[in-house]
Amino acid sequence: MYAQSVFPDSSNKKWSVELTCWNALKFGGYVQVGESEHTGDKLYLTHDLGMNNLIYPAIKISRRINNSSSFFTFSAGRFFFSGHHIINKNIFYNGALIKGADGVSINQTNFYRIKLSFEKSFRSSDGFYPDLITGLVYDALNFYANGTILPGYGQEQHEDFVTQSLPYPFVGARLRKSLSLKSSLALETSGTYIPRFKSFFNEGGPMSLHYATVDCGLHYWLQQKKFQLGAAFLWRLIKIYEYSAEDDPNDFFIHASGIQLSLKYDFLKLKMK
């Protein structure tokens, strides 16, 4: 017998689509990009680069596996950065010397996340419904530090972390609890930690990689016919590190917390035998 959903009749749904938007209220971190003999300056996202906004809209599509309590889920989204700041010194970024007094902007930064996961739900007799989650996460970051480039050095103002990015495994868990027939709470956490390793990439020499990510959230759901309305508080951490003789090093780290709003729709019922 498969696990029952928190909400009545939702176990009869085969497909669901969820739209989410996460707005970070508090964030911090840094970026450092070197090139050949020019070690990049460690630039703090808020203090040095004036980061003032971080938004992550995403779409999530889930499919129940036959009549079971298991799901395949695909999600994709983009982190939108904004920030501009005047720095009281010139900075090295990706081999370029940028004039800090003219200001540096991170508004063109591109950061996409794709996740493919498998979820298994379990029945509980005490009103709590546990889920186990595992899958792959792929982060594609192209970080821009745009400003006035001074002569005599490199010309690139962005670093493409995507070229050496890989899909990494993650694991997680969710615990759901009904508050009423139409409302529930869910506590969810997932993440991965990949220690530094020598990859098959080559950038002026063998490329070493290190990656870590954590997502923790407390979700509230309200059932309204075929729709579910959600609100959550989410905390995230992301670490992307690359090192080689040419990239010495490329290092990105961010931690952020904020509010997420969700709209979920179950649009096809299974034919129950």
What pLDDT, in 10s, does the model give residues 184-235?
999 999 999 999 999 998 887 889 999 999 999 999 999 988 899 999 999 9
Higher pLDDT among residues 10 and 109, named by residue: 109
Confidence tier at 148 by pLDDT (50, 70, 90): very high
Joined together, the tokens standing for residue 12 give: 């009869």
Confidence check: pLDDT of 272 > 80: no
For residue 8, what pLDDT is reported? 39
Query: Whole-angstrom Cα distance, residue 120 to residue 72?
Result: 9
For residue 270, what pLDDT is reported? 39
Higher pLDDT among residues 4 and 193, named by residue: 193
Confidence check: pLDDT of 6 > 60: no
Q: What is the mean pLDDT of residues 113-130?
A: 89
Q: What is the mean pLDDT of residues 103-116?
A: 97
What 3-state class would DSSP assign to 151? coil
Joined together, the tokens standing for residue 170 give: 């993650």
Share of the chain above pLDDT 70, in %: 93
Q: What is the mean pLDDT of residues 73-91?
A: 96
What 3-state class would DSSP assign to 126? coil
Lowest mean pLDDT: which of 56-65, 122-131, 152-161? 122-131
For residue 187, what pLDDT is reported? 97
Compute, in degrees rounded to 10, the torsion defined by CA atoms 154, 159, 160, 163. Answer: 70
Q: What is the mean pLDDT of residues 266-270?
A: 59
In degrees and rounded to multiples of 5, residue 125 shows phi and psi of -90, -10
What residues does 243 pair with on adjacent strands? 208
In degrees and rounded to multiples of 5, residue 95 shows phi and psi of 85, -10
DSSP letter at 102 equals G
C-alpha atoms less than 13 angstroms from C-alpha of 133 in its C-beta half-sphere: 22
Average per-residue pLDDT in the chain?
90
- Tens digit of pLDDT for each residue in 33-70? 988 778 889 999 999 999 999 999 999 999 988 777 88
For residue 66, what pLDDT is reported? 79
Nearest to 210 by CA among 256, 247, 156, 235: 247
C-alpha atoms less than 13 angstroms from C-alpha of 29 in its C-beta half-sphere: 20
Q: What is the mean pLDDT of residues 3-28?
A: 75
Instruction: Report in angstroms the alpha-carbon separations of 247 from 36, 43, 79, 81, 155.
Output: 6, 16, 24, 23, 15
Nearest to 191 by CA among 209, 174, 212: 212
Rg of the Cα atoms in the chain: 22
Q: What is the mean pLDDT of residues 147-166?
A: 91
